[in-house]
């Protein structure tokens, strides 16, 4: 399983919190790349809910990771 910014951004707008099956369903309906669906299927879980993309990919960069200050523009 691997994540990239491009792949993770495709499910960033998923209806969180969501289970693994709900995320797979969302990915299929939204036309996400097969790599996302394969990544989600590889997750070993017991029906738990994920609150955000950070639960799937802890290193997902947040807005603070980019040195862009919206209030300056």
| SS3 assignment, position 50 | strand
- Domain edges within the chain: 15-41
Report the pLDDT value the prediction gives residue 63, as an integer from 0 to 100.
58
Please count the other Cβ atoms lying within 10 Å of the Cβ belonging to residue 5: 10
Which two tokens mark 2? 């691997």
1-20 pLDDT per residue, tens:
778 888 888 898 899 999 99
Report the pLDDT value the prediction gives residue 72, as an integer from 0 to 100.
59
List of the chain residues with pLDDT < 70:
62-73
Report the pLDDT value the prediction gives residue 47, as an integer from 0 to 100.
81
């Amino acid at each position: 399983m691997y994540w990239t910014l491009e792949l993770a951004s495709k499910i960033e707008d998923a209806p969180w919190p969501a289970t693994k099956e709900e995320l797979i369903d969302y990915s299929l309906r939204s036309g996400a790349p097969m790599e996302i669906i394969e990544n989600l299927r590889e997750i070993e879980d017991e029906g738990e809910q994920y609150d955000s993309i950070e639960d799937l990919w802890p290193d997902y960069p947040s807005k603070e990771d980019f040195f862009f200050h919206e209030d300056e523009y």
